[in-house]
């Protein structure tokens, strides 16, 4: 076959095409070698065997565009060996060959500065860069002095600077980032930030947890968080967890429809939740106010939170009952945790619309009465009602909450027998009915393949163990102590291969 010069040229072009589709561009590969040297990463990470494997798009830390083969993501987190104390002075030019780069993760690399004249002003040559993660580095204010030049940035992670002081972030640079939607400053800043930050209209997510702000909310009254929410109108996620915030919660006097996630957990905020809470944040999906000193009742305006999926109010001093407004209105609830408060009364009234509910923690309160039938109209996988004053018999209809995996009813006053119907819960993993007044014999039907932990201790169970857990090959814990069981310890217990905790003492065995 005669190829001719043109044919050879075509073939070569085709081969070249193939190789560039297969791997990243040569200049990108070369740049990765340089990066490898600069990272000093001897434990391999993603650069190991760089020579051997031609196609750098297959390396763990590299993501290429499927059609162009260009590098679009570099995941260089923790790229340097941890035992090197040496800090890293970054040369931004090393990244310039990656012209299509959208995502650059440099977190946890002991970065301490730029090499001279090779800072953000160079990095700004990457006009498609949208996500930059510089968390867990020794980054100080002078490192960030030309940050504002990367105008394409949408997400910026500056959490957990490893300096032993908060960072005085250059606000003017931050404010030049007109496309910035998400800003993560956890553990990195001090309270002066709020005085200076001003309105950043593009901001959607702001997380400032673990910053030891140690300020009183009223000091910021009219400014913060009210001001942050009112004027940064696109803000959808605000996380202020674990900041030693004190004072009471003050709300703006109009709607904040954009806020979807509010986490002010683990602070020292006191006083009641303002009555209009549910009206101010009508679209809230996640609310975490746990671990504070809140008191008073659950506001009736919670009935307005029809999009709420996660609600954690545990570890506070709330009192009163669970209102119908919550059980009827919050119909999207998926996770409800009211543990460790002073709530009382019936668990739930008849009207109940929490059909999506999966996890329900009501432990360590003063609830009384029986387990209400309303909860059977749900998707529950977990119920924890421990340490309350609940009484009555264990309901047979619990068999119909078929997805249940964990039932924790310890430390109440339940009485009567353990219903055989519980054995129909085929997904059950954890059953704790200890410290109640249950009597009768142990049902002999727990042949569930899944069940792992059973606590029936400190009740008034009688009769022999017979074949109660005979087929439970996954059983790890079986605690039957402090009952009135009689007869012999059955032989099959020795065949339960997973069993590691067996407590039978204080019985008549
Ligand atoms: C890291 O790289 C620098 C220069 O590239 C070199 O001087 C140093 O010895 C390296 N450190 C280790 C632990 O490899
Ligand atoms: C990457 O750098 C490390 C040392 O920092 C070295 O051991 C390894 O061989 C380098 N990989 C390549 C392919 O050069
Ligand atoms: C690229 O291809 C991989 C697997 O071949 C696939 O998982 C990924 O979703 C694709 N990415 C895009 C942006 O199409
Ligand atoms: C930074 O990297 C570029 C590209 O590799 C190189 O040309 C330049 O000399 C480096 N600058 C410094 C100060 O090392
Ligand atoms: C910031 O870090 C650089 C490099 O480590 C250092 O030279 C500079 O003095 C630091 N600036 C401040 C304000 O701490
Ligand atoms: C709370 O924040 C402090 C720093 O302010 C940190 O040391 C501590 O580990 C955090 N605790 C939790 C449970 O997050
Ligand atoms: C918080 O601030 C108060 C005074 O404003 C001070 O007495 C207290 O020690 C501070 N607490 C912490 C943990 O810094
Ligand atoms: C916030 O908005 C209000 C009006 O909605 C305005 O009066 C106030 O000056 C704004 N605050 C800031 C810091 O821009
Ligand atoms: C709420 O916050 C606490 C403390 O910060 C945390 O432990 C808990 O996991 C959070 N709850 C949810 C549902 O995320
Ligand atoms: C709370 O529920 C009661 C009775 O169901 C109802 O009359 C009231 O309007 C509700 N309140 C709010 C704020 O939704
Ligand atoms: C019950 O929840 C559904 C959505 O799951 C909602 O459409 C309905 O209005 C709720 N009923 C009441 C009385 O709130
Ligand atoms: C569970 O549901 C089935 C079907 O709806 C019903 O026949 C049965 O009586 C229920 N069990 C209990 C104990 O109510």
For 205, the 3-state DSSP assignment is: strand
pLDDT, tens only, 296-333: 999 999 999 999 999 999 999 999 999 999 999 999 99
Give CA–CA dist 501/355, Å, rounded.
36
pLDDT, tens only, 19-37: 444 567 888 988 888 888 7
Q: Whose CA is nearest to atom 2 of ligand 6?
A: 210
Measured from the alpha carbon of residue 67, the closest ligand is 3
Q: Whose CA is nearest to atom 13 of ligand 10?
A: 301
Closest atom, ligand 9, to C-alpha of 241? 5
Where residue 16 falls among pLDDT bands split at 50, 70, 90?
Answer: very low
Portion of the chain with pLDDT greater than 70, in percent: 89
What per-residue confidence (pLDDT) applies to 61?
85
Give CA–CA dist 437/458, Å, rounded.
8
Does ligand 6 lie within 6 Å of residue 359's CB atom? no
For 304, phi and psi rounded to 5 degrees? -85, -10
Give CA–CA dist 301/278, Å, rounded.
5
Going by DSSP bridges, is the β-strand pair 293-296/317-320 parallel, antiparallel, or unpaired? parallel
pLDDT, tens only, 443-465: 888 776 789 999 999 999 998 88
pLDDT, tens only, 162-199: 888 888 888 899 999 999 999 999 999 888 887 777 77
Portion of the chain with pLDDT greater than 90, in percent: 58
What per-residue confidence (pLDDT) applies to 275?
92
Given a cut of 70, whether residue 214 has pLDDT beyond it is: yes
For residues 360 and 330, the answer to whether their CB atoms sit within 8 Å is no
pLDDT, tens only, 135-154: 999 998 899 999 999 999 99
What per-residue confidence (pLDDT) applies to 84?
64
Spacing, Cα 30 to ligand 2 middle (Å): 13
């Amino acid at each position: 076959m005669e190829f001719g010069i043109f044919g050879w040229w075509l073939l070569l072009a085709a081969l070249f095409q193939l190789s560039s589709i297969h791997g990243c561009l040569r200049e990108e590969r070369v740049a990765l070698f340089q990066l490898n040297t600069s990272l000093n990463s001897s434990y391999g990470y993603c650069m190991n065997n760089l020579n051997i494997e031609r196609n750098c798009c297959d390396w763990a830390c590299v993501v290429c565009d499927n059609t162009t083969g260009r590098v679009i993501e570099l995941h260089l987190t923790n790229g340097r060996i941890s035992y090197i104390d040496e800090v890293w002075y970054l040369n931004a030019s090393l990244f310039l060959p990656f012209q299509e780069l959208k995502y650059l993760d440099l977190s946890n690399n002991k970065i301490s500065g730029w090499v001279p004249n090779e800072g953000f002003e160079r990095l700004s040559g990457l006009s498609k860069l949208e996500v930059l993660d510089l968390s867990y580095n020794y980054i100080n204010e002078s490192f960030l002095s030309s940050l504002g030049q990367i105008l394409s940035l949408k997400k910026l992670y500056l959490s957990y600077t490893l300096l032993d002081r908060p960072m005085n972030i250059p606000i003017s640079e931050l404010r030049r980032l007109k496309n910035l939607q998400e800003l993560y400053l956890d553990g990195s800043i001090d309270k002066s930030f709020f005085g200076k930050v001003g309105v950043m209209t593009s901001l959607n997510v702001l997380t400032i947890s673990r910053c030891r702000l140690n300020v009183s909310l009223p000091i910021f009254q009219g400014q913060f968080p009210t001001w942050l929410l009112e004027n940064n109108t696109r803000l959808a996620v605000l996380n202020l967890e674990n900041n030693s915030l004190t004072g009471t919660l003050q709300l703006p006097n109009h709607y904040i429809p954009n806020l979807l996630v509010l986490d002010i957990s683990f602070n020292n905020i006191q006083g009641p939740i303002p009555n209009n809470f549910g009206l101010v944040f009508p679209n809230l999906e996640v609310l975490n106010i746990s671990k504070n000193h809140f008191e008073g009742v659950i506001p009736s305006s919670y009935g307005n939170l029809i999009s709420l999926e996660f609600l954690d109010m545990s570890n506070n001093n709330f009192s009163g009952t669970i209102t119908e407004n919550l059980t009827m209105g919050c119909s999207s609830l998926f996770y409800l945790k009211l543990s460790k408060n002073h709530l009382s009364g019936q668990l739930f009234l008849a009207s109940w619309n929490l059909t999506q509910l999966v996890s329900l923690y009501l432990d360590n309160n003063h609830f009384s009465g029986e387990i209400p039938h309303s909860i059977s109209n749900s998707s529950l996988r977990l119920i924890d009602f421990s340490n309350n004053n609940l009484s009555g018999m264990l309901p047979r209809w619990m068999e119909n909450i078929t997805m249940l995996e964990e039932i924790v009813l310890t430390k109440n006053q339940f009485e009567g027998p353990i219903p055989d119907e519980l054995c129909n819960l085929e997904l059950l993993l954890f059953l704790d009915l200890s410290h109640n007044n249950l009597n009768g014999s142990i049902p002999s039907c727990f042949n569930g393949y899944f069940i792992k932990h059973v606590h029936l201790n400190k009740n008034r169970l009688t009769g022999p163990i017979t074949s109660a857990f005979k087929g439970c090959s996954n059983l790890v814990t079986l605690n039957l102590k402090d009952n009135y069981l009689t007869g012999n310890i059955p032989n099959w217990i020795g065949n339960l291969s997973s069993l590691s905790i067996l407590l039978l003492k204080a019985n008549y065995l």
